[in-house]
Structure 1
Amino acid sequence: MRKAFPARGGKNAKKRLKAVSLWLSAGLFVSAAAHAAPVRNTPATLEETGEVLLQADELIYNRDTEVVTAKGNVEIVYGPRILFADKVTYEQKTGIVTAEGNIRILEPTGDVFFADRTRLSDELGEGFAESLSVLMVDNTRITAVEAKRSGGNLTTFHKGVFSPCEVCEAEGAEPLWQIKSYKVIHNQKEQQIIYEDAFFEFFGIPVAYVPFFSHPDPTVERQSGFLFPSLGFSEDFGTEVEIPYYWVIAPNMDATLAPRYTSKQGILYQAEFRHRTNRGEYEFDITGTKPTDPEAGTPADTDFRGSFFSEGKFKLDETWNWGFRTELTSDDTYLRRYDLSDETDLTSRVYVQGIDGRSEFLGESFFFQGLLSNDVSAETPIIAPLVNYYFEPERKILGGQLTWDTNIMSLTRARGTDSQRFSTTLGWESRHVTSTGEIFRPFVDLRGDVYYTDDVQITPTRQANSETVVRGLPTAGLEWRWPWVRSSGSTRQVVEPVVQLIYAPNGGNPDEIPNEDSLSFEFDAINLFENNRFPGLDRWEGGARANVGLNFSLYGEDGGVFDALIGQTLRFRENTEFDANSGLREQKSDYVGRLRYRPSENFSLAHRFRLDEEDFSFARNEVDLFTRLGPLSVSGTYAFFDASQSARLGTREELSAYANYRLSDYWSLRGYTRRDLENQQTLNNQLGLYYQDECFALGLAYQQEFFRDRDIEPDNSIMLQLTFKHLGTAGFSSGLSSSSDQ
């Protein structure tokens, strides 16, 4: 509202007076003697270039008192602000502006002020208003019996009400929640709203009283101050209270301090720091505690437990960028015990990357920390460095695309196998489409590796020390596809047979090369047509083979789709490089496939499978389902992996399901469960009731966790979370007596 009128007196006041005089002398007044007489039924306009545009049904100028009065549909435009009223008077001598009747002031921010009567200085720095209400751009409302503005900064509302909630149209209806106060002060400079003698009301019923309370106004994106506290009770920690403090250090820098007091285990200190620079951003997250009641024989039996997490990414120039990520903790169970993270494997990484046209460089280093009971830190590798360089020239060679891919890796352990690797691959492929629509893709890969290894355990009784291994790995192949397309009405069908012939020498994986990056191999529809199905470079797929498959797709008029793939690998002889349980060792591999069915946005089904080549039993079976039936949405995942998939892990079968039922526009009921079907154990359950509207959100959930690991026991808890628009989020949790019954 500031500067809606220019300052009283001086050059601007003279311009206004001159404009009024010129306008009056144009014959709108019949006589100079009748200078106090109104002009009726004639639109009146006063426009001063870049300053004021005034329009009203009638305008009166009293030369004796130097008072300008505008009546009837008054509209005053001053810069980006617009004022509407039934009547406006401006006293040139005092600079006082008085508006009466149906007053509306439109701010450039989109906020709208309503009042019955206002009296302000022409700078709008001083004044008062009666029956004032403010509608902000986000539908937040402030109302008051009267308001007073002083110093061009402070607006004091007497008997004020603040609420960001929409009000029902029914007469006498109250917003969902509101704050009523005998005095509300809006400090515009500090962007703060302060309440004195405030009552917090739900549905018009007072539920809390505070003598003093403040929060940032809706224009604030962030501001230093205390955030809503969290309160909890648990058997392990007793009473828990967390009071976060948010600190805006600079426009591009902030921090959050969140000490958590526990009656049984002392204080957990938490701090987060964030900083955005001209070239990037980074953040640190540090926690620590000194347990007051450590449990003997567990990771908690120590003087200090803590963690350090960090992440950063920076741009050096248009080509190069670098970054880091750090994940460290003092012991295996600390993060899960204090409900800071559910991770059981931590990865720290630093990298530098350059992308320039058709080439890419990536250099990185890794540090790992395993948090399960069977993880041995001395045997966990450190990778420093791992370098990849990729280049493809723009010019075609022999009608195809040439590529060059180079990898350098150094892996060390405190105890166990160490290895260094240099690998480079020169690749070429082309694509040709015949007049009949057949697609031919010939390809050639020439790869060479050099390894230096130490302490490789070849057999339980044989170990190789300080070995240098060199190998050459050529691959050549031809892929053929022939898509057939048929349209019928609004549907389109595509049938595509695929045959891929590959030749590579047998062997290529000497015992002296440790398998570090190809342990998690899995034969499926995704890698059916890969030249080398091992995920890393330590293992290579040799031998002549044919990969065959059939793709089928059906597309409907309304975006519905069904597609499927099934395929198999055929070999001239058994490939002993693959595990007997992999499904790829025999001359005829297992069948792998996938299918996807999505007739509309309300239903989708995805299925991935591997079938035994002889009896068609499932070696791998995964199903993802989503459906929406009116207010009910259900999603689920089923996964089965036969023991043949991994002798180390054995047979695994698991089911997880999530459901959301909308009780109304605002209320919903949600549930989640995850169960180990092989061992007949429930892993976790959650059931919650949720509410969300434009100004308030509520979540009430009951959760069961059945996981047990050293000082972590199964846990049952109730969680309540309340979110108030502009104010923040408050949380409450309570642990219940846990049970191992599942």
Structure 2
Amino acid sequence: MRALLALCLCLLPCLAQAQGAATLVADRVFIEGEERLIAEGNVEVLYDGTRLTATRVIFDQPSDTLTIDGPIVIETPDGTILLADQGQIQPTLENGLLRGARLVLDRQLQLAATQIDRVEGRYSQLYKTSVTSCTVCGTRAPLWSIRAERIIHDEQERQLYLENAQFLIRGVPILWLPRARLPDPTLERTTGLLVPELRFSSELGTGIKLPYFITLGRSRDLTLTPYLAPGTRTLEFRYRQAFRSGDLTIEGAVTDDDILPEEGRGYLSVLGEFEIGPKTDLLFDITTVSDNAYLLDYGISRSDTVESRIELVRTERDLFASAALVNLEYLRDNQNNADEPNLIGDLFVEQRLFPAMGGELRAGLDGRLLYRASDDLGVEGRDLVRLGTSLSYRRDTVTAAGLRLTAEGALFADYFSVGQDNDVEQSALRLTPVVAATLRYPLSRTRPSGATELLEPVAQIVWSDSGNQDLANEESTRADLDEGNLFALDRFPGGDLREDGLRANLGVSWTRYNPRGWSSTLTLGRILRADDAPAFSDTSGLSGRQSDWLLAGQIRFSDALTLASRSLVEDSFDFGASETRIDFDGAFVDLSASHIWLAADPEIDRNNAVSEWAMEAAYRISPNWELSTDARYDIRADDPVEAGLGLVYRNECVEVDLSLSRRYTSSDTVDPTTDFDITVGLRGFSAGRSADGPVGRCRN
């Protein structure tokens, strides 16, 4: 029969005084002499959230110690587990000695020792210790382990201090460490070395990255990453700080390499987001780079433009306001920074109102400032200020027959001021009234199979008149017909051009939902105009009195497979543009592939047709192995653009990531390069990272 020590304490007041901090539960409890309490069978000792289980416990009152026979299991509130064969420990479980012991941290990192000394409830001192987070099968050596003469575990600081340690792979020593300090797996962040990365580059040679993380208090940290290779000496850095109102990140690199041996290279980026008032945020992302090729050479970014932005945003239920200042730096060889827009200012404010007569009223204010550094006259040096206001009204009505009628009206007023370009009006005010009516007639039916079909024809009539003034066009140089703007009042992306004339936007969509879990959608549409639309390019699908046919469709098979396509088709059945994409998310395979075709259009600086396919795929070979690949291929030029291959192995104790990438493009400042990276992470030591990989199994 199980008994509680509390019953014995009623009979032994002196013992109760010594043992009052702990509680004992056992199958059999008896007193030997006057100073020894013996508990046997399913013994449990509970103290301040810590639980000890054993087969036999002897409490000696004069020494105030527990002598314990194993197997012994001690579980602390933070998840630490101590296993031992036998030991002596205080009733408070804070001090003592365990023999043939094993310490398990966060249920993943195992430390086996001949002896563990517990001191002050904070320190565990382990002698002749073997450490691993791998599954241990009998006498077979684990995949990796660390053997140390002594290890001290500081539970308060959550650190492991190693003395005279060896790192072994399958029992073979490969590295000796006289002293080392490592975080235990329960620690979220601490100063120390992060996972190194081995990198091979055809331009820089074989090198290594050694990131070192430095904590600077609870809200700040700094990461320094030396990158050493035959062709480069680089120091990367990242500083982060959290404030009550936001976050700040500063990162960059300083480089001395053989690509530009006589020039200092590097980049700097400052990123922040702060709440400066109720529903008001300040955002900034400022980046500068030493030369056009640096970001691509070091795999930081593939963008051909460096953008720096400061933005103020206010968001309410019926109000949105944004003011931004943007600086652009162009990295293409054929672009002169002085001839391109360098400084851009954007303003946008929109307020929604709901008048008593019904419907929705919107009032807006938008503006753009554009500055070029060039002093030339014409497009190369043009500076622009545009300020616009708008007022629009919309009301929806549904008839008894199910027809949905939408009436809309709007008035846009735009003021332009242009400098350094005499080919356009220097100062002008443009008023653009717009009226529109849209009729939708959604029809639905259910098939005998249970499938639901929805057919919705839509007809929209729009009239607007901007006066056909010869104004500067900076924002609306490119526009394309797609499902999102088929029924738009204005298809230009900016406010410097407004769509003119009387036009009818016609379309029909058909959707089918199958009870077996798949669905399909098909959209067909076209625009008919009273007059030509010369402001649109020939390949936009919007030019002429009749636009191209818009044909778009999507098929979704449950959540695994999706096929989507969109094309602009001329009356002659020639394609002006076409895009097709397939996505598959399976149990073992993930695949995304796309193809794009764009006809040549010198009006928008596309002198040659574009035909390109791209692909990304991942194959889970087993729970431990995953293979991935990606590629882009220029079909028109019959040349690859880039390709990559990756292989990842992970289990409960290690993660190895191999990646190979090749960039084929070249220019005056960028050469084709091949990069190979390898990173090896030991699970169980990464701060804040759990050993969530597949767990190894032992076989007889």
On whether the aligned pair clears a TM of 0.5, the verdict is yes
Alignment correspondent of 1:271: 237
> Per chain length, whose mean CA-contact separation is higher, i.e. which structure has more relative contact order (CA < 8 Å, sep 6+)?
2
- AA aligned to 1:715 is T
- Counterpart of 2:403 in structure 1 is 438
In structure 2, what is the Cα distance between the partners aligned to 1:204 and 1:457? 80
Q: Which residue of 2 aligns with 1:94?
A: 63
Matched, 1:225 2:182: no
Map 1:58-457 to 2 at 5 A: 58-62=28-32, 64-65=34-35, 67-167=36-136, 171-265=138-232, 267-291=233-257, 293=258, 300=260, 302-383=262-343, 385-393=345-353, 395-415=354-374, 416-456=381-421
CA distance in structure 1 between the aligned counterparts of 2:20 and 2:393, rounded to whole angstroms: 68
- After TM superposition, the structure 1 = structure 2 runs for residues 487-506 of structure 1, keeping only pairs within 5 Å, are 487-488=446-447, 489-505=449-465
Amino acid at match of 1:210: L
Change beyond 3 A, Cα 1:185–1:301? closer
2:213–2:223 Cα contact (<8 Å) kept: yes
Residue 384 of structure 1 deviates from its aligned partner by 5.2
What SS does the corresponding residue of 1:615 show, helix, strand or coil? coil
Partner residue, 1:618: 575
Q: CA deviation at 1:77?
A: 2.2
Greater Cα offset, 365-374 or 655-664: 655-664
Pick closer, same or farther for the CA change 1:235–1:607 going to 2, 3 Å.
closer
* Deviation readout 1:186-244 (Å, 9 max, x if unpaired): 12343221233333333444444433333111121111123343344545334534332
Amino acid at match of 2:241: H
Shift of 1:588: 1.1
RMSD (Å) for aligned C-alpha atoms = 2.7
Q: 1:471 maps to what in 2?
A: 430
CA contact (8 A) 1:50 1:79 kept: no
Q: What is the TM-score normalised by the length of structure 1?
A: 0.85
In structure 1, C-alpha distance between the alignment counterparts of 2:371 and 2:476, rounded to whole Å: 17
Q: Which amino acid aligns with 1:201?
A: L
Higher mean C-alpha displacement, 271-280 vs 16-25: 16-25
CA contact (8 A) 1:388 1:407 kept: yes
Q: 1:637 aligns with which of 578, 589, 594?
A: 594
Q: After superposition, what is the alpha-carbon deviation per residue over 1:372-425, rounded to whole angstroms, capped at 9, x for unaligned? A: 1122111232445322111112x3353210111111222211121111111111
CA distance in 2, matches of 1:89, 1:246: 47
Aligned to 1:686: 644
Distance 1:305 1:24, change over 3 A: closer
8 Å contact kept, 2:383–2:420: yes
Retained in 2: the 8 A contact 1:431–1:442?
Answer: yes
Deviation at 1:270, TM superposition (A): 2.0
Deviation at 1:533, TM superposition (A): 0.4
What is the distance in 1 between the residues matched to 2:82 and 2:158? 18
Equivalent residues of 2:72, 2:84 under 8 A apart: yes
**Count of aligned residue pairs for this structure pair:** 676
**For the structure 1 residues 145 and 392, does the alpha-carbon distance in structure 2 shift closer, same or farther, using more than 3 Å as the test?**
same
Q: Which amino acid aligns with 2:81?
A: V
The aligned amino acid for 1:623 is T
Cα offset, 1:559, TM superposition: 3.0
Alignment check: 8 A CA contact 1:47 1:54 kept: no
Q: CA deviation at 1:49?
A: 13
Unmatched 5+ residue regions in structure 1? 1-15, 26-34, 37-45, 295-299, 730-742
CA distance in 2, matches of 1:648, 1:684: 23
Worse-superposed segment, 50-59 or 271-280: 50-59
Partner in structure 1 of residue 690 of structure 2: none
Contact 1:47 1:53 in 2 (8 A): no
In 1, the alpha carbon distance for the partners of 2:24 and 2:169 equals: 43
For 2:596, give the aligned amino acid: A
CA distance in 2, matches of 1:457, 1:654: 40
Hey, what's the Cα distance between the residues in 2 that align with 1:572 and 1:336? 49
Q: Is residue 440 of structure 2 the alignment partner of residue 481 of structure 1?
A: yes
Q: Distance in 2 between matches of 1:210 and 1:703?
A: 34
Cα deviation, residue 683, structure 1: 0.8
Cα distance change, pair 364–693 in 1 and its aligned pair in 2 (3 A): same
Residue in structure 1 matched with residue 609 of structure 2 by the alignment: 651
For residues 487-513 of structure 1, give each alpha carbon's deviation from its aligned partner in whole angstroms, at most 9, with x where no partner exists: 1233111111111111112x54522x2
